[in-house]
Chains A and B, each alone.
Chain A
Amino acid sequence: MAGGASSASVEAVFREEHGRLLAALVRRFGDLDLAEEAASEAVEAALAHWPVDGVPPKPGAWLMTTARRRAVDRLRRDRAYAARLALLQVDADRADPAPPPDADGELPDERLQLFFTCAHPALPAEDRVALTLRCLAGLSTPEVARAFLVPIETMAKRITRAKKKIREARIPFRVPAVDELPERVPVVLQASYSIFTEGYAASSGPSLQRLGLAEEAIRLARILRRLLPGEREVAGLLGLMLLVYARRESRSGPDGALVLLEEQDRGRWDRAMIEEGRGLVEVALSGGPPGPYGVQAAIAALHDEAVDFASTDWPQIAALYEVLHALTPSPVVALNRAVAVAMRDGPQAGLALLDALLGEPQLRGYHPYPAARAELLHRLGRNAEAAAAYAEALALAGTEPERALLRRKLHTVALKD
């Protein structure tokens, strides 16, 4: 089929263009539902035409023209809806005039507005994540549902509810003013980071990682990095994701079992990704006080740079956890700090810090806490207590590979006792 395009390449183009297309349509029509409907009709048309006629030279402009036509048709059929949207549009234009179309007909990139709408603090956190995946990563509702292991119906309801709130409470489609950015950017970053952590360290299920989701999160962070080049925390977030994701190949064994940092084959770490991440850490940590993503990225970079576990720069990591704890005090950060201190000053010092966290409500049911205690107790030769702590962690762990690792550890200390 000369001049034709495979449906895979059509789909690749579509995934790249989807966010831009949707953002431009929301801007033009002021309604997320209408924009989604028109966008998906344009994609259907593309899937029908492109494999035969080839991908047009400006796929984005082609999709936009087609989608706009479909939206206008829909508005002609439904006058009441059109009148309501027209009213909305007057307000929107007054608040934020539309950018002029590009000279070459390509779409202006308005995805940043869409990021801020999807991750608006007025929406529940789980809805922000779902909408960001759906509108900006271009995942379908069933794909989003699969990613979070919830029934499709549940996810569809969640997305419908979020869109209803955007429409009826009139959550605006705009980039917040400079003085609002410090409050709003972290919410956008949090949505992408939640996607990443769910992908990289699945909270439940048979496997440890859902890599597709982590890759989507990295793609979103890359888009954000382009759209917000001056925000150092965006560099920190992308850097953090890359520096952690660089270890993906060595993080689980051939049988899917969890391999701890200590035992990972560092030769399999993705050097190119680490290099890119390190560059981003430099951006994140220069030109002002660091933010939490920048600090976490710096910690990940120190792990990535160490030739082996023993020669890791623990004093530096412990100091960075200190900084992180000052920025975002939480029992989970305190737990990580305690582990780093144990590596720097010995297990007794780390255990004292861990025991000080006993009874923290946020750590109740959090298996890394008893697992970390067990490890330090084991190193102190207190094997009976270590076994009890491993057993506690085992009962709480959510994925099978984590449970398998804890069973192995428990077995080891039980033998010594």
Chain B
Amino acid sequence: MKYMLLINAGKVDGDGQAAGCDVQDWIAFDKQVREAGIFVSGESLADLVTATAVRVGQDGRQIVTDGPFAESREVLGGFYVIDVPDLDIALDWAARCPGARGGGSVVVRPVAEFGV
């Protein structure tokens, strides 16, 4: 079963790093996920100032805006999709993720399965 781990940074410092962990932690975690044979996909997102939002209105007009700038304190910083047998194992991987520390959180969402 596939689960997406949505990594929300708590406080982000000037370099875009989550507080309380460094690049080494992320490299180690990424290595673990890949070596466990559960990695499906995963990306780290560029800084939030680079984000652009697109909306299409009822009249079909496209509206492009800078942002969104997070209204909540948590900012989506990246994700993993992993394939593991059940939620407990997915939660265990989420807990190992450096993004779960330092005021951040990792939201675990099952990927919807259509058909058999």
Contacts and interface: CB of A to CB of B under 8 A. Distances in A.
Are A and B physically bound partners? yes
Given A80-B116, A170-B1, A94 B110 contact: no
A214 to B, nearest CB: 31
A83 B116 contact: yes
B67 interface: no
Contacts of A94: 85
Contacts of A172: 85-88
A208 B77 CA distance: 51
B91 interface: yes
B86 A91 contact: yes
B1 A171 contact: no
A237 B110 CA distance: 35
A92 B85 contact: yes
Interface centre among A122, A170, A174 (most CB of B within 10 A): A170
Given A170-B1, A170-B110, A95 B86 contact: yes
Interface in A145-163: none
B110 A171 contact: no
Interface string A47-84: 00000000000000000000000000000000010011
Interface in A162-196: 168-172, 174, 176
Majority secondary structure of chain B interface residues (helix, strand, loop or mixed): mixed
B116 A170 contact: no
A94 B85 CA distance: 9
Contact of B87 (A80, A83, A169, A176): A169
B87 A171 contact: yes
Given A122-B87, A176-B88, A169 B110 contact: yes
Interface string B100-116: 00000000101000001
Contacts of B88: 171-172, 174, 176
B85 A91 contact: yes
A87 B1 CA distance: 10
Interface in A88-135: 91-92, 94-95, 120, 122
Given A83-B116, A168-B110, A170-B1, A122 B91 contact: yes
Contact of B1 (A91, A122, A174, A176): A91
Contacts of B116: 80, 83-84, 87
Nearest to B88: A172
B78 to A, nearest CB: 21
Nearest to A90: B85
Contacts of B86: 91-92, 95, 170-172
A122 B108 CA distance: 10
A172 B89 CA distance: 9
A95 B87 contact: no
Contacts of A84: 116
Contacts of B108: 169
Contacts of B87: 120, 122, 169-172
Contacts of A169: 87, 108, 110
Contacts of A80: 116
A181 to B, nearest CB: 13
A169 to B, nearest CB: 5
Interface string A377-399: 00000000000000000000000
A174 B87 CA distance: 11
Nearest to B92: A180
Contacts of A91: 1, 85-86
A170 B109 CA distance: 11
Contacts of A176: 88
Contacts of B91: 122
Nearest to B85: A91
Given A169-B87, A169-B108, 18 more contacts: A80-B116, A83-B116, A84-B116, A87-B116, A91-B85, A91-B86, A92-B86, A94-B85, A95-B86, A120-B87, A122-B91, A168-B110, A170-B86, A170-B110, A171-B87, A172-B85, A172-B86, A176-B88
12 contacts: A83-B116, A91-B1, A120-B87, A168-B110, A170-B1, A170-B86, A170-B87, A170-B110, A172-B85, A172-B87, A172-B88, A174-B88
What 5 A-B pairs come out closest when comparing CB atoms?
A172-B86, A91-B85, A170-B86, A169-B110, A83-B116
